[in-house]
Each structure stands twice: as structure tokens, then as C-alpha cells.
Structure 1
Amino acid sequence: MLKLVAVVLILFLFSGREPQRLTETPVESSAIDLCEVGNSVFQDGETITYKLYYNWNFIWLAAGEVEFKVKTYPDFIKVSARGKTYPSYEWFFKVDDYFEAHLDKETLLPTLSIRDVHEGSYTRYDKVILDQKNHQATYYWGPDKSNTQSAQKVVSGCMHDILSVIYTLRNVNVGSWQVNQQLPVSIFLDKEAWNVGVTLVDKYEEKRIKGQGKAQTHHLEPQLISGNVFKEGDQMQIWVSADANHIPLMIESPVSVGSVKAVIKSWSRLKYPFELDNP
């Protein structure tokens, strides 16, 4: 069964079973250091909500919403995302997923990652403690928080999770990239480390955002990994605001059955002014 909210949460997707080989990238990519990016884009209290749609037999169904939040503490930044299906969609498939990450304030690298998934009859709990300095991941997994196994794995010293990479990439000046430039990213997910990439398709592209208006955007294409959600050759498209906030405005992607779309619905406490032209 399609894990709709999980697909959208992984905006720059890193799910599946077999990593694909990264294509050759321009030299400039190596100059972008995702190990110590720092934060100049988001602030305490930022909240962004997306409306999710699922296309089934040429019909777009409003399926649910995902809400992203930022909370700053003295020693770390907590970022979280909760995705839920609408009651009207739950006859088809019910989802209530929660993702959380604790980020180092200086580097934005994660020290803790939590995933608590409830999708139909399927449940899954994951907790990862990342020791970036000593290159070690201690991870716990099981059907729920009270019933887990644990293990350790040696990882690189610059390892992200699915939430940290979203907020880290928002702090990268995509507008300075070359078209077709690809940025490699390392991420820990499902007890494994993955090497994937995101490519710039176009810069300063005008895009109409459903229900919101027009915006100047940067058009990105994340690398997808074929598996139980995506088929070989599938492509995801992401349009990110070409302003100081760098927020994803719309995401479109095929999945194994049908396609999904996430469209920004509301936002508050952004660090910089943001508005779209009239719809």
C-alpha cells in the first residue's frame, strides 16, 4: 500500500532498497560543504503546512496534510514533521506519521533522529543517535517504541537524516549553482547509509502554485531510488522559492501506483518576508 505522507516527508527522497550510482557533477559541487552549513534561513517558531494530493485513475484526491515545525533550545534545534490523512480519505488508507530530528546549532548535523509511523495496519518506530565526531550510529527499530532491537554502525562524519537534509539544503544558495549541477548527500535511513543527489533543473523559473499564486522558483530534481515506492526511471520535481527563505512550494512525483503532489498551504514565523502573486 502506498505510504503517501512518508513520500512527501522525504522531499529530497532517500527511500528504497538499492542506491543508484551518482552521475558526474561539476567541480563546483565539491565546494559545497554540507558538514558545516550553519543556519541563516529559518528561526524558532517557523511552521509550514503542505496539502497532499493523490492521483488515482485521473482523479486528484485531497489526501491529507504535513506540518513542519522548528523549535530552538539552548543546545540544539528541534525540527519535526507530522503527516496525517484527512478523515474523508481514511476509508482508502489512514496515515499518522511523526518525524523528529535534533540538529547541532553550528553545523545543522543531526544528533538524534526519530521516526514513528502509523500507516494502515503497518507501524514502525526508529530512533537513531548519531555521534558525528566518532563516526558512529546507534539505532533502535521495531514495531513500536516499547518493542525495539538495537545495533551500531560505523558511518561517515557528515551524516544527515531525512529532516536535517531538508533544513540544511535550505541554507544552500541554489541560485549560485549551474543548471544541471548535482549535489551529493549522505543520509542514514532504514539502518543504512545512502549516497544520493539533487540536481538543479532550472533557476528563477516562474511557477503557479495551486491556490496560492505565482512565484519565482528554483526547479530541483532529487535522485530517486527504485524499490517498493518508486519504479526505475521515475522522477520527482520540486519547486523551491527563489528568495531568502528557500522553502519548497510544490512537489510532484510518480509512485508505484499513481502519483502524488504536495502544495504549500500556509506558513508562519518565516525569518524573511514572503508572499506570492495573486492566484
Structure 2
Amino acid sequence: MRKLIVLFLFFTNVVLFGQTNINNNQSPKYAFQKGEWLQYRMSYSNFLNAGYATLKIKNSKKNNKAAFHILGDGKTSGLVGLFFKVKDNYQTYIYKESLKPYRFIRKINEGGYTKNKEILFNYNTNKALVKDFKHNTEKSFSIDNDIQDMLSALYYLRNQDLGSLEINEEIELKLFFDQETYKFKLRFLGKEVLKTKFGAINSLKFRPIVQSGRVFKEEESVTIWVSDDKNKVPLKIKATLAVGSLRADLDGFKGLAHPFNIIFNN
């Protein structure tokens, strides 16, 4: 059960979109802004309330460069929380100019399973310094210049133009997680009008190609919907697991940078 919160944060922020290029010669028009707050309700097997996850944005600065400080929190609740407590905290700091991360924090406690790590990204040397506070270790790893962490990936890719994607087109994302660089493939499935608690919303539908086995029931067992507007807000994630299924639905929002195009109220 401890994988529920981790899977939500992982798939929201890792396999949501494929990688495109940003033009640093132009002033970026962000899909998000300081003060944005998103909350997701997670359910297990479509009926059991498993917990909540939130994402929020603050302003920051690094070496006199403007930056965003993004915080992601997840915790179990209800019956799941009584038997298995999860409290996860993820943070990333990204430069506003390039939307690349320079610092990533991961503090988790999942039923007694804990991690406390910090990653510092250096693009001059193309190295990532991983600090493991639980084991009191530091180690440097080689990275690509266009790398993202599992939380910064969402905000970097939310800011990209997805209008040129064709149905069944596959795109890739490179991500540094723990001590390795991973490549993920993602397939664009098309557009869909998605019913939410706020009303019907035009959405873009994606399916990551994941590895089947211990966690996922099949290779293609995860589906993701995001709003088809300038915000590109994740609306829903549905995953078929080896045992049961996981679903995350947008439950609350505020501070969006652009109008949220709800077609009608439920």
C-alpha cells in the first residue's frame, strides 16, 4: 500500500509528457505561477480512499537568478491511514529561465520505510551530487545537460507546446532519480472530454510504456489525462496494479495562471 503515494507523484511528474526544446532567446510564458495549488484525491480499487497529494509553487532565487520552489506532499488517510501511514515530501528548485532543476529534496516515511536525500545539479560539470542523510553519504554522478528530476519534469513539460503531437506518437523523457538516469516512453492517445467533480474538461490523453512485473499488471497499464489548455493541469491518473488499481483525481485547485476551461458544471 505504501506505493500508492509514490506512484501518484512518480507518474504525475515523470511520464506525463515527452521531451521538447525550450527557446531560451524568448521570454517564457509559463503554464503556472507562484501561488498555484493543486490537490488530488487518491483511491484504491475505485472505492477505498487512500490519501491525498498536493502540489504548490513559491518563488525563490539562486545566485541572483529567479527560480521557482515547488513542493509536493502526499499522505494516506481514512482506513488506509489507520493501518499504513505514509508521509512523503518532495521539493524541487528550478531556474525560471530554463526550467531546469538545481536542487531536489526527497523525504519519505512509508510505514517505517524512510529516505532522506538531496540532489544538487551542476550543469557546468554535468554532475549530480546525491546526499543521503539517512546513511550519511555523498556521491557524484554524471548527468545530461537536459536532465530533470521527478518533480521538476512536470513543470518543465507543462510549459511545452503539445499541439503538434499526433495520435500514437511516442516521445521520451530523461529523468535522474535516486542514482540513475532513466528513459521513459510515452504514447499520445488523443483528446477526450473528461468528466470531473468540477464539470467536463477538454483533456489530452497519454499512456506511458511501463515495465510489467512486480508493480504493474501489464506493460501499458497507466493512463493519464491533462487539461487541454494553457495550464496543462493533470486531471486524472488511472493505473492497473498487480493487485487492485490506483486512481488519482483532481480534488481542488487555486492560483492557476490561465483560465480553466470547464465546459459545464456537474
TM (norm. structure 1) is: 0.85
Q: CA deviation at 1:197?
A: 2.3
Residue pairs, 1:188-203, within 5 angstroms: 188-203=176-191
* 1:42 counterpart = 2:32: yes
- Structure 1 distance, partners of 2:171, 2:129, is 27
Note if contact 1:175-1:218 (Cα within 8 Å) is conserved in structure 2.
Answer: no
Which amino acid is the alignment partner of residue 244 of structure 2?
G
* Regions of 4+ moved over 6 Å: none
The partner residue of 2:94 within 97, 103, 110 is 103
SS in 1 for 2:250: strand
**RMSD (Å) for aligned C-alpha atoms:** 2.2
Residue pairs, 1:71-82, within 5 angstroms: 71-74=58-61, 75-82=66-73
The partner residue of 2:249 within 263, 266, 270 is 263
* 1:162 counterpart = 2:153: no
- Structure 2 distance, partners of 1:231, 1:132, is 38
The partner residue of 2:198 within 195, 198, 212 is 212
What residue is the counterpart of 1:62 in the other structure?
Answer: 49
Note if contact 1:13-1:223 (Cα within 8 Å) is conserved in structure 2.
Answer: no
Structure 1 residues 262 and 136 mapped into 2: Cα distance closer, same or farther (>3 Å)?
same
The partner residue of 1:173 within 161, 182, 189 is 161
Note if contact 1:52-1:260 (Cα within 8 Å) is conserved in structure 2.
Answer: yes
Out of 92-101 and 37-46, give the one that drifted further: 37-46
Out of 170-179 and 92-101, give the one that drifted further: 170-179
SS in 2 for 1:43: coil
Q: CA deviation at 1:212?
A: 2.5
Q: CA deviation at 1:39?
A: 5.0
- Structure 2 distance, partners of 1:12, 1:174, is 16
Which amino acid is the alignment partner of residue 103 of structure 1?
I
Out of 93-102 and 171-180, give the one that drifted further: 171-180
Structure 1 residues 49 and 14 mapped into 2: Cα distance closer, same or farther (>3 Å)?
closer
Note if contact 1:140-1:150 (Cα within 8 Å) is conserved in structure 2.
Answer: yes
TM (norm. structure 2) is: 0.89
What residue is the counterpart of 1:7 in the other structure?
Answer: 7
Q: CA deviation at 1:87?
A: 4.3
Matched residues, number: 257
Q: CA deviation at 1:121?
A: 1.7
* 1:149 counterpart = 2:137: yes
Which amino acid is the alignment partner of residue 263 of structure 1?
D
Note if contact 1:77-1:105 (Cα within 8 Å) is conserved in structure 2.
Answer: yes
Map Cα deviations across residues 33-72 of structure 1 (whole Å, 9 max, x no partner). Answer: 16969552100110000000011xxx62011110100111
- Structure 2 distance, partners of 1:261, 1:112, is 29
Structure 1 residues 14 and 68 mapped into 2: Cα distance closer, same or farther (>3 Å)?
closer
Note if contact 1:43-1:269 (Cα within 8 Å) is conserved in structure 2.
Answer: yes
What residue is the counterpart of 1:23 in the other structure?
Answer: none
Structure 1 residues 132 and 39 mapped into 2: Cα distance closer, same or farther (>3 Å)?
farther
SS in 2 for 1:8: helix
What residue is the counterpart of 2:84 in the other structure?
Answer: 93
Percent identity over the alignment is 29
Which amino acid is the alignment partner of residue 119 of structure 1?
E
- Structure 2 distance, partners of 1:136, 1:249, is 34
Note if contact 1:63-1:86 (Cα within 8 Å) is conserved in structure 2.
Answer: yes
* 1:33 counterpart = 2:24: no
Q: CA deviation at 1:125?
A: 1.4
* 1:253 counterpart = 2:259: no
- Structure 1 distance, partners of 2:205, 2:134, is 42
